[in-house]
Structure 1
């Protein structure tokens, strides 16, 4: 499988230019804010969201100045949600680094998240990018609703497969859908094409989240701790499938264990073994590849180009990655 550095080669110059523009978009006259935003930029991830924006723009007409603003808008609003999420989850680490709230406490972290949201709004309004603002704002709304839906259902341990898909469609897939739609819109694509690219991104986002869920049960030996989702009492697709296949007695026993494991490693391993032995991992992997195929079916309606090839490789990377 191609590495991410190889996949991004067709848009490498654009991504480098974007990084500089993104840093500029976060600047403030307040020294404390500048220190924090510099810290955030320094520990950036794999650039996958901007890659989806730029490849989608190239596929749908060409990369423009609007594409850079679309990518910056996605990153600003998404980064704001991550900063706020760490406060809500009381999490002190993100991507192996201390979170903003761990270093500067919750009050400052919330204000930084608000600042990033306002910078995204300002960037859009100043450049009259109202279509991009609507695309990304809709995604942020869905992400918030998905998070609240998950919290509500986790309390009741009442998650069907249909509800699981609705949660991940809102929480994860809506963001990747907004990246692809923003890219298409920035290239001047018509509404039908923007909608098609949004659907393409949604399929990828669902497949991506299922892959992430599989890691929790040790599908790949990547040294990542197993059972994190179980510890957080998240009911994911492999577990839902296993519970649906179980007898009433076993189902009740496992649900009680998920609710009351108390971080007991023996209980968590029992839940993992239960899912593995039920065929839950095979089922989830099969569903993941179904969504991958649906994404490819949409992508192949576009003419072949380096941008289509780049998106195809990026989809394969998100669903076939080992970590």
Structure 2
């Protein structure tokens, strides 16, 4: 496993990480979680991602219980969670000072931890002034409940505004963004955020490298396996959006490239994400140890992605975003 600095910070995260979205609390219980997390550690993963909204808090409880029972040394791992959707009440959601502080405390209680290493604003909150959010995130850091803060699915403009507030008030700005990034979702990482990497040293922990499993090739025939996430009732709308003919045709077009490298399609797709120098860590998901073992082999695929191979991939997917003139 390789370790990269999280943006311009001194925090080192494994190039591949593990996230609890969908799996923990929906498909995986605490006993299964222990074996999955240990499998990740055995492969050098030190970064584990969660959120208050995952399985309505149950994902944090499962991760916290599993880590406690595994007896890991806290300083050996990097744990993150995200705040935005904490419950049904009017103040249980969003990025107000009230919810950030109460939500953080509730997450730490569920995780059975004194602190998380990174805490994210899970979405932008247009109903709360960015200054209020920046001040609240710094309050969380000042109290030792988190060491760093970041954003998830914010626009470049919103991140820039947050940094402007932080610099004006001599506070800490967001050091990391967590966007979706895969062969079919590229605009933010490869175009919109370009100025942020140099201006603020922004790091990325990207999610959905396999486009919710589409890039494994298991849906290529239009059949949804019963043990896949698209078979879960809550994710059937996502399946309808994702499994379109054009996407499946491109997935099939990538298979010969993976075959040429003698690797599974999933490893090619994960390695492609990790090869972007602006990506600090690629968050993977898995419900089986065998999936983790396969995903982790993507590290060995990264050196195989020569310019020639990257051009072949581009020729198939044709998803490279056009760079705006001002970013050149």
Relative to the length of structure 1, the TM-score reads: 0.29
With normalisation by structure 2, the TM-score equals 0.29
More helix per residue: 1
| Bigger strand fraction | 2
